[in-house]
Structure 1
């Protein structure tokens, strides 16, 4: 368990480092903007000039969000997300801003891809890069709407503001960055807000107790039988958010490493889905 948490911290640190490198080597020198709170911090840093750096502003913006996430989302997820934000802010201050290329398109694409790898591996290990991830989770649970709506709104504001401040060419290249980021994150993790897990196990009672101890989700069980072994089993069907996938897989591996688990995308739900 300690080694698992250590690996998670290492992955979060690598993700934060990749995000900081993407910004200081590609996006900031080219005045191309990242998505979410990182992009907001870039814009504010550009407005305030030398009074506040991107790293410091990113950290300040995430303080109220962390408090909100601690109360509404979950302590473990929020803790690792805050660690990710803290490390990213630290790396942004330590790593010098260097322009590796004068080609704005290369900066936009490579910055977006490298940042997305950092975000993707962080999400895959049950944390986030903070900021809009946490806000969107809270809002989606209150309204039960896709988090993509809130990401799109905030990123739209970033693009329009960048266009007004630095010209519409910069705004268009910011769109390239956002597109590249989205595609890479989708490939590494998953773009779908809700997922359905179907777990076939012989330890259904222990599995149900462990899942309920970790997640606030309903479970539907269906009798199942192995066609080859003819053994009696149960199939557990659980609808979760993408942010809960890591915790669920940890529970499955701990309770029954031999369980067969199928994760599929869920495009819509009719009926009750617990949001808090």
Structure 2
């Protein structure tokens, strides 16, 4: 056991977060506030880690009047690490990326993406706001590692393509996590 409070916070947060994260990921509970958090997650699409952090922050803030500010701050550090680890384990360490591509060469880009990283794509019909021109937007989901390849494909196929990349919080269904309600 360490006598350094910061080390205790870091390792306590990591170890507790790992244990609780795997428990939540497998649909079980550690008891206490996480039952409330699971209900809120189901009804409001908020992560369990965020709910627990918020609820426990309120509790710790109220107890700040009884204990030293140092203990409160160390507790907040532990909580932040703990709930960040819980969310990372539940959501997965490497978040998937959502890529939207507007290009005159979408078909070629889609074929190359499938050939190189075995990811399918979806065409979304759209209309530009200024010229009212009908276009197709290419929609691709890939891992962070695959994103490097996707960018290379787009760059060599159409340097004028318009591309947005976003993190996803969860992907369910066909080729990803099983859809369970």
**TM class, shorter-length:** 0.3 to 0.5
More helix by share: 1
TM-score (norm 2): 0.45
